[in-house]
Amino acid sequence: MIKQAIILAGGKGTRLKNILNGKPKPLVEINNKPLLKYQIDLLIKYKIKSIIILANYKIEQIEDFVNHEYSNQNIKVLDDGISPLGTGGCLIKYNKIFEKKYIVLYGDTYLDIDFSKMIEFHLQKKSDLTLFTHPNSHPFDSDIVIESENKVLEIKPYPHKKDFFYKNLVNAALYIVNKNIFADKFIINKNITDFAKDLIPQIINNNKKVFSYNSKEYIKDCGTENRILSVINDLKNNIPFKSRKISLKKIIFIDRDGTLIKSVDQLNKIEQVEIFDNSFEAIKILNKKGFVVALVTNQPVIARGELSIEGLKNIHDFIEWELGKNGAYLDQIKFCPHHPHKGFDGEIVELKINCECRKPKTQLIQEVIKEFNGDLKNSWIIGDTTVDIKTGKNSGLRSILVKTGFAGKDRKYNVEPDFIFNDILESVNYIINDNN
């Protein structure tokens, strides 16, 4: 088991100087409580027995705080030197005194994480380095993680090129580290070495096992006044608690074509994607209120051979990136690649089956409910077809039909939605008001 955590707390907090009142950044207060105290209390809750704080700026204030608040705990404050070494350089400097496996967190993040689950993932994967990852509302200025089946292949660091887009999966700056990853020689910058930008690529290139732990749990950077205000607002709305693994979550299932984006017959190119203007605001509202947002879509173009799985991934990556540019994100995307009718030129025979994942069957819904510990009775599906409404009926979801796309005129099923609204934004506003 992993029993040690390293808190990287060397920042000066220049962007927070108006509210720090002469304190170092880790002691910035959120609801009259130092950020560092939130972090240490959480680590102690999950039985992390040894905590090392690496600092330099106004280190004596951090030492005084620890001595006053945690005199009976095994917490050390170490000076990483007069010249800042960066988040990577200070880890390498002290790595020899660390335990074999340890957690790394940054001193400017507020988090509410079940460390036992992340540790379990790290050990099961036999990982050398595990990154906590999640979608966020600003992927365009974040480090993007490229992974396959949780294995990290590459980090795309910020800044990104203007035409760049990718799946919204962000490195949240929380890690579990095996000490031995630093046994290899690293190229260290003369002054500051960043863990994510400088070291992780080298760790991957050294054939170490690096994995992505993707979680809905709450973690936010507190590096600016606006971000601290955002955390305070989230605490007021109980968002960190709602995001916990054990919390029942209200899930909004959203159809893609005709609901989130304009309907195009057999859409198979990124150039055909046009997101409804109201979709950005609708998804953003759900994000801020702590709902899980899951896109569920039938994509028979795969079975018909008109689009590859990789091509569909690119389309969905583009949609995620465009949402992110407007401050919104999806928590999950699920699609069915099958189609039951055979006999078409170019079709993929093995995908021409009567499956359990094609809406209105419920496999995709069930998978998301299980993944996020969904509160089925208080979850919804929003769509433009009777297929979506029938999916809701079959799954036990409340349903909304929107007047965009087919507006229910597909007439495949004789079903009535619980509600009908003009578009996705009207639908979301009703759901939000219904939950107040």
| CA–CA dist 372, 253 (Å, integer) | 12
| CA–CA dist 235, 219 (Å, integer) | 12
| CA–CA dist 8, 108 (Å, integer) | 9
Q: Using alpha carbons, select from 6, 24, 4, 13 the residue that is nearest to residue 221.
A: 13
| CA–CA dist 46, 41 (Å, integer) | 9
Q: Is the preceding peptide bond at 300 cis, omega within 30 degrees of 0?
A: no
DSSP string, 350-401: GG-S--SSSTTSSHHHHHHHHHHTB-GGG-EEEESSHHHHHHHHHHT-EEEE
Q: Are 210 and 151 in contact (CB under 8 A)?
A: yes
Q: Are 264 and 257 in contact (CB under 8 A)?
A: yes
Other CB atoms within a 10 A radius of the CB of residue 77 amount to 19
| CA–CA dist 275, 307 (Å, integer) | 20
Q: Using alpha carbons, select from 142, 293, 153, 139 the residue that is nearest to residue 212.
A: 153
Six-digit token pair at 365? 């819904």
Using only C-alpha atoms, what is the Rg of the chain? 24
In degrees rounded to 5, what are phi and psi of residue 277? -55, -40
Catalytic residues: 255, 257
Contacts 24+ apart (CB under 8 A), 265-271: 266/301, 266/304, 266/306, 267/301, 267/315, 268/301, 268/306, 268/307, 268/311, 269/315, 270/314, 270/315, 270/318
In degrees rounded to 5, what are phi and psi of residue 15? -75, -5
Per DSSP, what are the bridge partners of residue 213? Answer: 132
Q: Using alpha carbons, select from 295, 292, 349 the residue that is nearest to residue 318.
A: 295
| CA–CA dist 405, 418 (Å, integer) | 18
